[in-house]
Amino acid sequence: MQRQVILASTSRYRLELLTRLRLPFEVQAPEVDETPLANETPRALAERLALEKARAVALRFPEAIVIGSDQVADLAGEPLGKPGDHARATAQLRRMRGQTLIFQTAVAVVCHATGFEARDLAPVRVVFRELGDAAIEQYLQAEQPYDCAGSAKSEGLGIALLESIDSDDPTALVGLPLIRTARMLRAAGVDLL
């Protein structure tokens, strides 16, 4: 018998990505405080939140295999979260133009019943083009990426903002590194094929 799989997330992007694996799963909100701790690095923040999300939902569903994920845009060690609105997205993109960021994308898989717990990080190096204010405004009006870390959707028009993307897990920048997720699900006992 295969265990229930649950995605501990409210992200529509993660839901869409996990659907690619063609396995039945449910979605539960993790209800975790995402406030960074004092002096917490973007990498540590992403790893901690991915694990906390998975653990929080696994406590409610101890027999299930739970996936948690988090992404933090890292600009020279400073965490950039989801902008939430147009003004903050504009400010983020202005700061990021011509810069190299690391999108720290963490994933964790937890099953209380079996004691399984694993986590991994899929850092993505992204170089932003030199962007004029008019290009930033045009992009934000077209895509309104206010719920995306770093204010840009690489899977959409946001790709035009970038010079390059360097990653060994191509879905990591969208928010869920599927190669790592599949590896951990197999280790937890989920038959993907």
Mean pLDDT of 71-98: 95
Name residue, tokens 């190669």: 179
pLDDT tens-digit readout, 140-168: 999 999 999 889 999 999 999 999 999 99
Mean pLDDT of 122-143: 97
Going from the C-alpha of 175 to that of each of 88, 92, 162, the distances in angstroms are: 20, 18, 17
Name the residue type at position 123: P
First to last CA, the chain: 15
Of the candidates 87, 176, 162, 90, the one whose C-alpha atom is nearest the C-alpha of residue 126 is: 162
Indicate the average pLDDT of the chain.
Answer: 96
Give the percent of the chain with pLDDT over 90.
Answer: 95
Mean pLDDT of 51-78: 97
pLDDT tens-digit readout, 100-112: 999 999 999 999 9
What was the pLDDT predicted at 149? Answer: 87
Of the candidates 57, 98, 104, 58, the one whose C-alpha atom is nearest the C-alpha of residue 80 is: 104
Q: How confident is the model at residue 175 (pLDDT cuts 50, 70, 90)?
A: very high
Look at residue 81 and tell me whether its pLDDT is greater than 90. no
Look at residue 1 and tell me whether its pLDDT is greater than 80. no
C-alpha span between 79 and 64 (Å, rounded): 31
Domain residue spans in the chain? 5-187
Q: Is 70 a catalytic residue?
A: yes
Mean pLDDT of 85-93: 96
What was the pLDDT predicted at 8? Answer: 98
Catalytic residue selected from 33, 70, 168, 191: 70
The domain defined by 5-187 folds into Maf protein (3.90.950)
Give the percent of the chain with pLDDT over 70.
Answer: 99
pLDDT tens-digit readout, 21-55: 999 999 999 999 999 999 999 999 999 999 999 99
> For the whole model, what pTM was predicted?
0.93
What was the pLDDT predicted at 15? Answer: 97
